[in-house]
Amino acid sequence: MSRGTLIGIALVVILIIGGCGSYNKMNSLKQGVDKSWADVQNVYQRRADLIPNLVKTVEGAADFEKGTLTQVIQARQQVTNLKVDLANAPNDPDVMKKFQAAQDQLGSSLSRLLVTVEKYPELKATAGFRDLQAQLEGTENRITVERGRFNDAVMSYNTKVQSMPARLYAGAFGFQPKPYFEARAGSDVPPPVSFDFGNKPAPVPGGAK
């Protein structure tokens, strides 16, 4: 066997070994992304499951701003009726954007609702509402944590897929970069708070009492 043949065989063996190693690492990181995505879906589902009880509790408050409550109900319906392949979201930037947009809208509506409740001390004082509020706040914190973990997992995966030598094999093995959760536009600026008081005129600062 000639020297050239031996070199060729050695190169093939090196490529095979390198390919196997890269595949195993990329697959391991992909599994990490999938697990993080499942955790993200679980905490979002928990939030959605808490909302019906919250709505029922708030509806019992006299003269509560119906517009604010309606926004929460509609936002939850949009999330529930979202027609996308959630299992494929980590592989499809468009699906991820639709999912995130719907969830962010629900989060914003919930925030406005909880701010509005500040105007109703009798509602805040009920044990049922306080319990739901605590659960929702805990869930929102968990959503932030799980989204961060998901982005960390995606970063590790994408870094591997786009680095050498894994980049040589990634396409052939079907490993493509995955989209991140992105910060909501304007999330660094506190949203304006407006209250829907129906026909009741809004108070004028410094005006007659």
pLDDT, one tens digit for every residue, the chain (209 residues): 676 665 666 555 555 655 566 888 999 999 999 999 999 999 999 999 999 999 988 887 767 788 888 999 999 999 999 888 888 899 999 999 999 999 999 999 999 998 888 888 888 888 989 999 999 999 999 999 999 999 999 999 999 999 888 888 888 888 999 999 987 654 444 444 333 434 444 443 444 43
The SS3 call for residue 20 is helix
Q: Quick count: other Cβ atoms within 10 Å of Cβ 70?
A: 13
Domain annotation for the chain: domains and CATH numbers: 3-173 (1.20.1440.20)
Q: Quick count: other Cβ atoms within 10 Å of Cβ 200?
A: 10
Q: What angle do CA 158, 163, 164 make, to 5 degrees?
A: 150
